[in-house]
Amino acid sequence: MSEFDRPIGLEKTDLLRLFRWHNLDQPLTAGCEVVTNGTFSIRTTQAGFLTAALGSAVGLALYDRTAGVGGIASFLLARPVGSQHTEQPEKFVETGLPLFIAELQAKGAEIDRLEAAVAGGSLQLQGASCNDLGQWSEFAVDALMEQLSKRRIPLAAIEVGGLRPLSLLLDTCSWTASIELMEDRSPPAASKVTAPTSGQVDHAIETTQPIPQIALNILALLEEGGKFTSLADQVKQDQVITAKILRFSNSPLYSSGRDITSIDRAMVFLGENSLTEIALSAAISSSFAESGVGYGLMKGGLFKHALAVAHLAKVLALETRMAEAGIAYTAGLLHDIGKIVLDRFVANSLPFFYRQGVGSSKDYAEIERELFDTDHLEVGFRLAQRWHLSESLTEVIAHHHWPEQAATAHLPLVHLIYLADLLSSCYLAGVEMENINTEGLEERLEAIGLQTEKLLEIIGKVPWKNLMYL
């Protein structure tokens, strides 16, 4: 059974890998839990840990040692923006912190015994030409510190800002909180990287598993505006694809608690558009299966990132109307296919490769070129040509880090994928290694008609917690 055939969610192997990147030397136990962005989790005394991977999000550990109750919350923004609703108030400091504290008190904690640790809010948009964008995280940190001060909750540990993604850990047995850099502490295999030869890269491209024919059929369907029903019979004949589609369909992002047991039932409950996206994701997942321990910071991290960017791109397309939602989803899903090829070379260079990027303002594509004499955009472009992908998808794959370099006809779509990729790197830390340049960010937002307030509103709408469990 491949890693993408496993049940949805973070399994022990996922946790073990994630905790390894969080510098945790203790053995993994059943009490360990990763708290996803925009949520909180509370525990009573037991052997184990709570942890949150924090990029631009702000993490808070609150605990009452005497009562043996504590938890971690991860906030995205200081408060709801614009027309934002509060369907998930836990995302925001203003609405989520009172809920977090009330739940702690309901389990026996006393407000005057609480201790706190605060981490995260990294300035991953530092250098952006529009300063208010670079201050999102600062506003969230300031709002949180103000609320803790009002309640006279003392700080046991704090580390905020900076460029490095952090992890916040809470030991639910000893009730101690710690803040760690998200980097591999294991001894490096080598002090430098030996760049692959052009022949090795060529061979890796040639031997990379091609996109399955059923995925190509779905791509053609999306581009031609056809009906998924025309492919349904073909999908049903492939038991592996069918099983994957049903697994995706029953994920928190899609199912809403429904038990979807067949393709026909999925069509009824999810609709043709969603089912087409799910089928494409399921079909393409096998292409990512050969990626292992390179870019990914957790099991299946490279594919989880691709899925997250796909969903973010769809949201951005619907909000801006600058691209068709289905095409945006597809482009987001395929944008990093070059990493499938380079993943094996990155894996041989860990943790040296990772440390080149942590805390650096360099775009990871620049680091790839320095170390490997190529980057995932160039390699992805070659794969796209080999697989005969459409011009629009090829432009996304080749230019999603510097969208203004794309052909004029495809500028809006490439800008959408750039932004989706950037937001994913900011708010889904701990999934895969990624640094994306923010040069000319204001102009890039203008290219798709986005103002700062609207972008913050979109961030608040995205179901971040469900993206981790695809």
- For the chain, domains (ranges, CATH) are 3-181 (3.30.1330.200), 199-209+289-467 (1.10.3210.10)
**CA–CA dist 394, 407 (Å, integer):** 10
Nearest to 213 by CA among 287, 312, 117: 287
Q: Is 215 exposed, middle or buried (0-12, 13-18, 19+ CB in 10 A)?
A: buried
**CA–CA dist 27, 195 (Å, integer):** 35
**CA–CA dist 90, 363 (Å, integer):** 31
**CA–CA dist 396, 232 (Å, integer):** 28
Whether the CB-CB separation of 169 and 178 falls below 8 Å is answered with yes
Strand ranges of the sheet holding 49-54, from the earlier edge strand across to the other edge: 33-34, 49-54, 166-171, 176-181
Q: How far is CA 185 from CA 15, 32, 71, 181, in A?
A: 16, 20, 26, 9
Position 149 scores a pLDDT of: 96
**CA–CA dist 10, 82 (Å, integer):** 33
What is the chain's pLDDT, residue by residue, as a tens digit (470 residues)?
223 233 334 443 444 444 444 433 344 445 688 888 889 999 998 878 898 988 889 999 999 999 999 999 999 999 887 655 566 889 999 999 999 999 999 999 999 999 999 999 887 665 444 445 557 788 899 999 999 999 999 999 999 987 778 889 999 999 999 998 775 444 444 556 677 888 999 999 998 888 888 888 888 888 777 778 778 888 888 888 888 888 888 887 787 677 888 988 888 888 888 888 888 998 888 888 655 567 877 777 888 899 999 999 999 999 999 999 999 999 999 999 999 999 888 877 766 676 676 656 788 899 899 888 999 999 999 999 999 999 999 999 999 999 999 999 999 999 999 999 999 988 887 778 888 888 888 889 999 998 877 888 888 888 777 776 55
pTM: 0.85
117-156 residues labelled b (16+ CB within 10 A) or e (exposed) = bbbbbbbbbeebebeebbbbbebbbbbbbebbeeeebeee
Give residues with Cβ within 8 angstroms of 404, minimum separation 6. 411, 440, 443, 444, 447
- 409: which DSSP letter? G
Nearest to 462 by CA among 138, 91, 166: 91
- 69 Rama class: left (phi>0) / alpha (psi -120 to 50) / beta: beta
Position 62 scores a pLDDT of: 98
Nearest to 71 by CA among 114, 26, 22, 29: 114
Joined tokens for residue 164 = 């490095």
CA angle 49, 55, 61 (to 5 degrees): 35
State the distance between the two ends of the chain, measured CA to CA, in whole angstroms: 17
**CA–CA dist 314, 310 (Å, integer):** 6
Position 314 scores a pLDDT of: 93
**CA–CA dist 416, 329 (Å, integer):** 10
Give residues with Cβ within 8 angstroms of 422, minimum separation 6. 436, 438
Position 20 scores a pLDDT of: 45
Bond from prior residue into 351 cis (ω within 30 degrees of 0): yes
Question: What are the φ and ψ backbone dihedral angles of 48, each rounded to 5 degrees?
Answer: 150, -170
**CA–CA dist 191, 353 (Å, integer):** 10
**CA–CA dist 11, 382 (Å, integer):** 34
Position 350 scores a pLDDT of: 67
Position 351 scores a pLDDT of: 64
Nearest to 33 by CA among 198, 180, 170, 231: 170
Question: What is the torsional sign of CA 195, 198, 200, 201?
Answer: positive
Whether the CB-CB separation of 170 and 50 falls below 8 Å is answered with yes
List 169's β-bridge partners, or say none.
51, 178
Q: How far is CA 260 from CA 250, 252, 274, in A?
A: 6, 12, 13
